[in-house]
Amino acid sequence: MIGGDNCTRACPFCQIHNGRPEGYDTDEPRRVAHAIARMGLNFAVITGVARDDLDDGGAWLFAESIRQVRALLPSCGVEVLIPDFRGSAAALRQVVDATPDVLGHNIETVPRLYKRIRPGFTYAGSLELLARARAWLPTGSATKSNLILGMGEERGEISETMRHLREAGVELLTITQYLQPSRQHLNLQRFVTPEEFAELKAEAEGLGFAHVESGPLVRSSYHAGRMHEALHPGTLDRRARIAAAAVLALALAGWLGWRGFELFDPGRNLSAARAVVSAPNVITHQLPALATAPGASGTLQSRPHQWLSVITLHGLAPVSGRERYLVFLHGYSGWTLAGAARPAPDGSAQVRFAAEPRPVSIYEVFVTRAADDATSIPHGTPVLHWFDPVHAPPRVRPFDPAHPAP
């Protein structure tokens, strides 16, 4: 769930805290993508609070989260569950243009109960959002909604709402049981029987929904990947095949890279590092300039799949004879590589890293000045910090050995 802990709406059935949101974390989408990578998901559902305090209602956060997941994990499916952005077509367009695999917006209840149960929303507005999304999304993407039962709706009203959703082009539907989170929340009116859930599923399928999940413990993200798969059969299999092919390709490239490394770089010294830099197939990332360290710049060069990396720095301040620069690379799966160099008189330095013999990727680069014999960086030392040299802008933060990654 993105956008913070506080929602600017106050739906009486919902347990999310409502109040004034604190801050706007534009780095959150990148961290969401990394969290999905760490969990090894092949389909992720990203939901969020309503952010009426923001001009775009939080649309950029959703759109950027989709883009970050796509960039980091091209084979991972992405579903977003969005609020109504107060009816803003431009905000919705932002999310649609990021092309989620599934765009969800929950209607939640029937029109008669809307004012009480969805006070910040309108029934017509939610249907309009879903219809617009269907019209704007490519055919490979689906729209989805959710209905919560047990809040006072009549059976005929449920059927009518399902019809309206189909008329808006919604393809995927979840039907769920309301469970009252506390005495302060909306009163539960009834428990729906499993038989009625089964009947509603059959009715919804008869209306033309491509996939319906209906049951007391169903939630809107329940079997999300499978629901999308139902609309586009073979997608998950295809993704699994792509992932398997990628693993094989990485293993092969890694083996070739390692053999190459052994052949041309046995000495682990500076001239060998220069050989790596000039070798073919080297990927170069320019480290962006740091406002807090004027003049400092650098490049990160990696052999394919980062089996071997070289950091070249320029504009480093001179150090005394008893000092040097320490450079750290941090990787997605928690590894850290460390190196050290003393800058040449022109302020340049080069540090090379022999990564572990497995495919790795780098998400941040630390550079800090330290005593020659330092074996660790004192807590709070300011560092030049190129965060995610490939995807994100640079930052500076004090080094915290307990939390090398923010």
Q: Which is nearer to ligand SF4, 10 or 344 (CB)?
A: 10
Q: Which is nearer to ligand SF4, 59 or 287 (CB)?
A: 59
Asked if residue 127 binds ligand SF4 (CB under 6 A), the reply is no
Asked if residue 298 binds ligand SF4 (CB under 6 A), the reply is no
* CB neighbour class for 15 (10 Å; exposed up to 12, middle 13-18, buried from 19): exposed
Strand partners of residue 338: 328
Q: Which is nearer to ligand SF4, 108 or 265 (CB)?
A: 108
Query: 């990160």: which residue's tokens?
Result: 300
Q: Which is nearer to ligand SF4, 7 or 367 (CB)?
A: 7
Asked if residue 104 binds ligand SF4 (CB under 6 A), the reply is no
Residues 83-102 that bind ligand SF4 (CB under 6 A): 83
Q: Which is nearer to ligand SF4, 11 or 296 (CB)?
A: 11
Asked if residue 50 binds ligand SF4 (CB under 6 A), the reply is yes
Q: Give the strand order in the sheet containing 384-387.
A: 336-341, 323-331, 362-371, 384-387
Pick from 49, 224, 273, 341 the residue near ligand SF4 by CB under 6 A: 49
Q: Which residues of 69-91 are buried (b: 16+ CB within 10 A; e: fewer)?
A: bbebbebbbbbbbbbbbebeeeb
CA distance 194 to 191: 9
* CB proximity list for 376: less than 8 A, separation 6 or greater: 401
Q: What is the DSSP string of 42-81?
A: SEEEEEB---TTSTTTTHHHHHHHHHHHHHH-TT-EEEEE
Residue among 189, 194, 120, 119 nearest 157 (CA): 189
Asked if residue 77 binds ligand SF4 (CB under 6 A), the reply is no
Asked if residue 7 binds ligand SF4 (CB under 6 A), the reply is yes
Asked if residue 18 binds ligand SF4 (CB under 6 A), the reply is yes
Q: Which is nearer to ligand SF4, 106 or 312 (CB)?
A: 106
Pick from 2, 3, 4, 11 the residue near ligand SF4 by CB under 6 A: 11
Asked if residue 14 binds ligand SF4 (CB under 6 A), the reply is yes
**Interacting residues toward ligand SF4 by CB under 6 A:** 7, 9-11, 14, 16, 18, 49-50, 83
